[in-house]
Chain A
Amino acid sequence: MAFEVLRTPQVRDAVARMSRTERAGYEAARDELGGRGCVAGGYKLAATDGGDYPVCARHLANAWRMYTTYPDDKRVVIVAVDQHLPKHNPAVELAEVLQGLSTVGRRRQDKPPCCEDPASPPPMNDQLRKLLDNIL
């Protein structure tokens, strides 16, 4: 089953900044999305409340990450690719979070896959619509 893979201008511009090796990694992931759909999307990002955010993340070469959404069961949208670099002083953030210690965390190995069945994209279309509505 083949999927139509689309991208935003942000992705086009970011890919242009990649090295040859990094671009090869991006293109391999893109091709895999075209063949396997959301199964190749990586894992679901966690939302603020610890639930699922309507965007999947997949790690690429070096610090690059690819973020995807699935508007319907035929199309994959690569929303963004970005370098996930350490912040200036994230230890401060870590300490801040501890002030309101809660149980929203989830180990990476326990994170839900983007989806398990390529024929049915992640059940997050309503969430995605709400997110996009809020942006506009």
Chain B
Amino acid sequence: MGKRDAQSVTMALISLDDARDALQNGRRDAAIQAMQEAHKTLEGIGHAAGVPVAQAARRLGVSVPTVRAWITRGALQAIEGSSPVEIEPESLRSVGRALQELRERGVDREWLQALVDYLDDREARRSPALKQGLAQLARGELEPA
């Protein structure tokens, strides 16, 4: 990390300290503003585009195999061509928010798996290939397999 980037990190840390103090004093708007400043400062630093799988797993509170399974299923979006695999930050945030909501509602891990499987089936039902095949079946367009 260069000197300029290191200075940016220091500035961001100061903003985050401000945000913490503001929250402790009940000044929510000031806290949000300070966090936005920290975010903006850190955005200026040259950094890797994606989040490594292990870090994503820690952030989401699930196992590494679960993160890999969600990438395969499309619930998390991997950065194309990344090796080792990195996850697109916005995708990680979306799933993180969804998980947080699930946890706040007291939904357990089995239910979450059921939800992912349900989405999987829904995608299958909506598949153009299946729709095309069903339409051909309806018209009696069949041949020996």
**Cβ contacts under 8 Å, A82 to chain B:** 124, 127, 129-130
B144/A5 in contact, CB under 8 A: yes
Q: What's the minimum C-beta distance from B67 to chain A, rounded to whole angstroms?
A: 12
B133/A93 in contact, CB under 8 A: no
| A46 vs B122: C-alpha distance when bound (angstroms) | 8
Interface centre among B97, B136, B137 (most CB of A within 10 A): B137
| A53 vs B129: C-alpha distance when bound (angstroms) | 16
- The interface of chain A, by Cβ under 8 A from chain B, is 4-12, 14, 30, 33-34, 45-48, 50, 53, 55, 57, 65, 67, 69, 77-82, 84-95, 97-98, 101, 103-108, 110-111, 131-133, 135-136
**Cβ contacts under 8 Å, A65 to chain B:** 124
**Cβ contacts under 8 Å, B58 to chain A:** none
B129/A91 in contact, CB under 8 A: no
**Cβ contacts under 8 Å, B110 to chain A:** 107
* Number of interchain pairs (Cβ within 8 Å): 159
A132/B137 in contact, CB under 8 A: yes
| A8 vs B142: C-alpha distance when bound (angstroms) | 5
**B74 interface contact, C-beta 8 A:** yes
A105/B94 in contact, CB under 8 A: no
Given A98-B98, A103-B111, A108-B117, 16 more pairs with CB closer than 8 A: A11-B133, A50-B118, A55-B125, A67-B130, A80-B134, A81-B129, A84-B124, A87-B74, A89-B91, A90-B75, A94-B95, A94-B119, A101-B102, A105-B117, A135-B134, A135-B135
Q: Contacts A10-B132, A46-B121; is A108 near B113 (CB within 8 Å)?
A: yes
B145/A78 in contact, CB under 8 A: yes
Q: What's the minimum C-beta distance from B12 to chain A, rounded to whole angstroms?
A: 26
Q: What's the minimum C-beta distance from B68 to chain A, rounded to whole angstroms?
A: 12
| A107 vs B119: C-alpha distance when bound (angstroms) | 11
Query: Which of A30, A57, A133 makes the CB contact (< 8 A) with B124?
Result: A57
Q: Contacts A6-B145, A7-B144; is A79 near B133 (CB within 8 Å)?
A: yes
